[in-house]
Amino acid sequence: RVDQLKYDVQHLQTALRNFQHRRYIREQQERQREELLARTFTTNDSDTTIPIDETLQFNESLQNAHRGMDDLIGSGTNILQGLRDQRVTLKGTHKKILDVANMLG
């Protein structure tokens, strides 16, 4: 019987907390709604300005960085291609040296 009463008390306390939380949320929403409806909007409000110059500069900097990375990747690709060409040349030279060595005995 005592355990049942403890369970009932916990259940009621949880229900009360849930009810209070929902009520708090509803009151907060009503307050925010009233503040929004009471607010007067004006043209050219300082909160609505967009810093276009800063955004353009940021975008230009990003584009420059992007171009720089493309150049860096292109240079790396050219270097790798040069190394491959050198490898082919060295392989051919090595084969010719071995052929000459085999002919000489």
Measured distance CA(87)–CA(82) in Å, rounded: 9
Residue 49 included in any domain: no
Per residue in 25-69, pLDDT (tens digit) is 999 999 999 998 888 876 665 565 666 788 888 899 999 999 999
Residue 35 included in any domain: yes
Amino acid residing at 8: D
What is the secondary structure of 7-65 as a DSSP string?
A: HHHHHHHHHHHHHHHHHHHHHHHHHHHHHHHHPPP-TT-GGG---HHHHHHHHHHHHHH
Residue 87 included in any domain: yes
Tally the domains of the chain.
Answer: 2
Token representation of residue 86:
């050198």
Judgement on whether residues 60 and 99 belong to the same structural domain of the protein: yes
Q: Provide the pLDDT for residue 46.
A: 59
Judgement on whether residues 35 and 62 belong to the same structural domain of the protein: no
Judgement on whether residues 31 and 61 belong to the same structural domain of the protein: no
Which residue range(s) make up the domain with 4? 1-40
Residue 46 included in any domain: no
Residue 45 included in any domain: no
